[in-house]
Amino acid sequence: MRILYSCVPFDGGRSGISVYMRNVLRELEAAGHELTLIAEPSAAGMLGGRNFILLPKWAEKPLFSMLYHLFVLPFILFFRRREWDFCIIGAANRRAFAFYPLFTVTVVHDLALYHVKAKYDRLRMCYLKTVLPFFIRRAPACVAISRSTAEDMEKFWRIQREKITVCYNGLSLPAEHDGGWPEKHGLADKNYILYVSRIEHPGKNHINLIRAYGMLPAALREKYRLVLAGADWHGAEKVHRFADGTAFTSGIVFTGFVGNDDLYSAYIHAACYVFPSFFEGFGLSLIEAMHYRVPCCCSDNSSLGEIGGGAALLFPPDDPAAIAAALEKILTDKAERERLIAAGVRRAAMFSWSDHAAEIVEIYRRHESGK
């Protein structure tokens, strides 16, 4: 099948959306489909070896990218629409077409802006709350990567429920070799609590996690470091400043972005995994940690509660004491650790990128058979 796939925005390959796109593209190609990618020039090198429709260089800036994708691309595609069977917009919570010149499946990851106050500036909030949903409602088909996201699409964007297909993300497996990632960050022979996420405030909730770490008994803080692994993003300076102002700052380790070659090493040496985000459309790292037999705790909201329930300890993300209690239980209760490890392995096995990609193709096939 000939598929046109929008990979805009690709975020320099350093976001959950870019991880999503890489995995779906791989599975579509493995299934024998022929792909053409819509991409920013800066992303072409990271997505090399494929056919491209590239945005102009000037359209890499967010505002121009939104406008170009919305109003210019549909006209370009209209005159070339017979080259493809259908189109996928891989980040439809950020990009859309003003009109759809061929059957298009729009993939929405989350509507976090309705749950995290001041997540974006006013201009972007206006675009995401007013402009984008108007055009996504016009799309032939929508995919939500969790039930939580599907419910938000229906509630906030007023998208008809029958148009939405819930299609869970898959389990991403990094290269499985131990390259000594802990040693690179001064963690050799040290136990640590791990959180892999871009350093973004307030959405990713690092400050409440740091508060929770400070509430652990002194003996546990002495034994376990808090490792915050991820690239600096919006509001990162507030997180760093807060950590530096604590009496236990020496126990907090910022590692920066963790590449695919290091993720396996980061997970397998962790004593536990914590995911305290205020809101997630899915939370890829949660099931990755589960797969690698790391006992997990996470927020009880959005898709995290949906995916983690029964396989991770849950806590309200705005309650540092509850986060601390979950961490302490995992770190001190051997029976609970073993239960969480076993439950997590079973839960992670439920998610497959090949199933996800196949379901998107099936949406198009159902459309074709209904003609």
CB atoms within 10 A of CB 242: 16
Digit-coded pLDDT (tens) for 82-94:
999 999 999 999 9
CATH architecture for segment(s) 181-348:
3-Layer(aba) Sandwich (3.40)
- The pLDDT-based confidence of 123 (bands split at 50, 70, 90) is confident
**E strands, 40-151, where?**
51-54, 86-89, 104-108, 141-144
- The ranges assigned to domains in the chain are 2-170+352-369, 181-348
Res. 49: pLDDT tops 80: no
Could you tell me the CA-to-CA distances from 42 to 48, 57, 220, 233, 274 in Å, in that order?
11, 8, 44, 19, 33
> Given this model, what pLDDT does residue 359 score?
97
Which of 334, 343, 293, 291 has its CA nearest to residue 314?
343
> Given this model, what pLDDT does residue 194 score?
98
> Given this model, what pLDDT does residue 178 score?
86
**What string of DSSP letters covers 210-228?**
HHHHHHS-HHHHHHEEEEE
d(CA 36, CA 44): 12
Helix (H, G, I), strand (E, B) or coil at 168: coil
| More confident position, 367 or 119 | 367
Digit-coded pLDDT (tens) for 195-244:
999 999 999 999 999 999 999 999 999 999 999 999 999 899 999 999 99
Contact 249, 214 (CB under 8 A): no
Q: Average pLDDT over the chain, rounded to whole?
A: 95
Assigned token pair, 179? 């390259």
Res. 175: pLDDT tops 80: no
> Given this model, what pLDDT does residue 169 score?
96
- The pLDDT-based confidence of 50 (bands split at 50, 70, 90) is confident
Assigned token pair, 303? 């898709």
Establish whether domains 2-170+352-369 and 181-348 are of one fold.
Answer: yes
> Given this model, what pLDDT does residue 371 score?
58
User: 2-170+352-369: CATH homologous superfamily?
Assistant: Glycogen Phosphorylase B; (3.40.50.2000)
